[in-house]
Amino acid sequence: MNQIESEIAKRRTFAIISHPDAGKTTLTEKFLLYGGAINLAGSVKGKATARHAVSDWMEIEKQRGISVTSSALQFEYDGCCINILDTPGHQDFSEDTYRTLMAADSAVMVIDASKGVEAQTKKLFKVCTLRHIPIFTFINKLDRDARDTFDLLDDIEKNLGIDTCPVNWPIGSGKGFKGVYERETGEVITYSDTQKGTKEGTARRIPLSDRESILAELGEAAAEKLEEEIDLLDGASAEFDLEEVRAGMLTPVFFGSALTNFGVEIFLQNFLEMALPPTGRMTDKGLVDPVTGVPENEADDPKNGGFSAFVFKIQANMNKAHRDRIAFMRICSGKYEAGMEVRHVQSGRVQRLSQPQQLMASDRKILEEAYAGDIIGVFDPGLYSIGDTFCMPKEEFRYEGIPTFAPEHFARVRQVDTMKRDQFVKGINQIAQEGAIQIFQEYNTGMEEIICGVVGMLQFDVLKFRLKSEYNVEILLDTLPYEHIRWITKCETPIDRITGTTDMKRIRDLKGNPLLLFVNPWSVQMVLDRNKGLELEEFSRN
């Protein structure tokens, strides 16, 4: 095994998904503690110490205690190099989460033990199943009163349509939470309470066969209940099958508390054993091998192959002092070395990637090298877009595109101070290029009228906040009644001669593509019926 192969084999790249407030960001911080990446975990809502979660770097995230943008975090643990993609839990930012899942090889699903599967978990799970990526479940908050464990497993199977296999089993919950039973070893693992924000705490392993020690540790009632549940579990749960886990058909389930560190390290150790390192990814020329970087359709062609990557996120103004734009890319194959020349496929240019860096939220480290599975940030001169492919100069292939979500809410955007038009146009365009919002113009007019479209209403608040804090521009938002958007893919008459309905509006996107907005869903079909040869699509293919 050469150096590139061994480095790629060490990589594990995963996204963490959950409903808001299930403890996802807290779990991320505990992983970083175990990897030695941070020394003290910050509570997301820790106003007493004014310490904020490492992965929440944007000012609005610190103020509201929620994640609104994905963060890329890397650390080493137990011989593995781990890349965590922490995603927004709030449904209004599901598009950012979708793009992030495109960069992950597996997903960790965090579920609140008192609530079970919630609405946003279902949405994100569907995205994972579309890509057939392995899903590992961590049922969190066992330090609080929880639902019946069998009910929780049943909830996952019925709501998400995936078989579950508990790797361990909780003993009690809330104040009666004693620890977990590990099925493979037949041991009970008990925990002392840990100091908040640290990883210290003693774990004691007791074989279930050591009846005397079990009774002394758990008490008679808890010991008897555990034995009953184990008997039921062995007869009811799916058999563990690693191939099914890796195919995304079976989810291993773990129990614990991220806040107090119950079960977090056990989960991390098992995850690293079960999860796959980076595998081949699909392009327009077939699957690209993660080591060689050569598409399967060109396997006999002795081109140089090697490094390839795609952009899944663009973030402006992470460093306010420099007003920069960072393109986050997932390396899909080979090794990246600082100074190497690569092809930006969409523009056809061969260039050196500027200021390659690894990011720990807003902290940066200049990179000399990186491998398949790693997430790197590079300076974007305004040339890159989400979904762009980079490969070696002699190669030319494109990774599968990342579809654009159809916005569901629209508003006309105006700046309060008309003298700040330039800052306003620059700011709203940069934020739109990140994919956080979509902006449109009235058809056949200039930039005077800007219409903003978002997937969730909270994105309007973020737009307002960021324009004020990053560009010193205050805006007014006039909500529009439109809820349905369609891209025009074929039209036999000029766009302005389409026979419409009273609730239809003609607009165009940033690339000049014509679109139609509708208030009512039935108007879409009426317009199609009235205009022969007209074809409409719900998603942009660009």
Q: What is the mean pLDDT of the chain?
A: 83
Structural domain spans, the chain: 7-73+86-274, 281-391, 409-537
**Is 419 a residue whose pLDDT tops 80?**
yes
355: left (phi over 0), alpha (psi -120 to 50) or beta: left
β-sheet bridge partners, residue 414:
476
Higher local confidence (pLDDT), 443 or 535:
535
Ranking 111-125, 145-159, 175-189, 520-534 by mean pLDDT, the lowest is: 111-125
- The tokens describing 255, both together, are 């129990």
**Is 50 a residue whose pLDDT tops 70?**
no
Q: What is the pLDDT of residues 61-93, one digit of tens each?
A: 445 443 334 467 888 899 999 999 876 544 544
Give the pLDDT confidence score for residue 276 in this predicted structure. Answer: 93
Q: What percent of the chain has pLDDT over 70?
A: 83
pTM of the full structure: 0.78
Q: What is the pLDDT of residues 491-506, one digit of tens each?
A: 988 888 999 999 999 9
Give the pLDDT confidence score for residue 456 in this predicted structure. Answer: 76
Give the pLDDT confidence score for residue 313 in this predicted structure. Answer: 85
Q: Domain 7-73+86-274 class? A: alpha beta
Give the pLDDT confidence score for residue 39 in this predicted structure. Answer: 55
* CA–CA separation, 256 and 259 (whole Å): 9
End-to-end CA distance of the chain: give it in Å, rounded.
Answer: 40
The DSSP 8-state label assigned to residue 180 in this structure reads E
Q: What percent of the chain has pLDDT over 90?
A: 47
Higher local confidence (pLDDT), 260 or 147:
147
**Is 111 a residue whose pLDDT tops 90?**
yes
Closest listed residue to residue 236, CA positions, set 176, 165, 288, 289: 165
* CA–CA separation, 237 and 253 (whole Å): 11
**Is 445 a residue whose pLDDT tops 70?**
no
* CA–CA separation, 89 and 87 (whole Å): 6
**39: buried, middle or exposed (CB in 10 Å: 19+, 13-18, 0-12)?**
exposed
**Is 48 a residue whose pLDDT tops 50?**
no
Beta strands in 224-276 (DSSP E): 250-255
Q: Please give the backbone phi and psi of residue 191, each rounded to the nearest 5 degrees, phi first.
A: -130, 145
To the question of domain 281-391 being in CATH 2.40.30.10, the answer is yes
* CA–CA separation, 60 and 63 (whole Å): 5
Beta strand pairing call for 409-415 and 325-333? unpaired
**Is 46 a residue whose pLDDT tops 60?**
no
Task: Work out the average pLDDT over 463-491.
Answer: 90
Give the pLDDT confidence score for residue 230 in this predicted structure. Answer: 93
**Is 43 a residue whose pLDDT tops 90?**
no
- CATH fold of 409-537 reads Alpha-Beta Plaits (3.30.70)
**Is 243 a residue whose pLDDT tops 90?**
yes
**Is 299 a residue whose pLDDT tops 80?**
no
How far, CA to CA in Å, does 404 sit from each of 98, 206, 308, 456, 458?
10, 52, 23, 14, 18
**Is 242 a residue whose pLDDT tops 90?**
yes
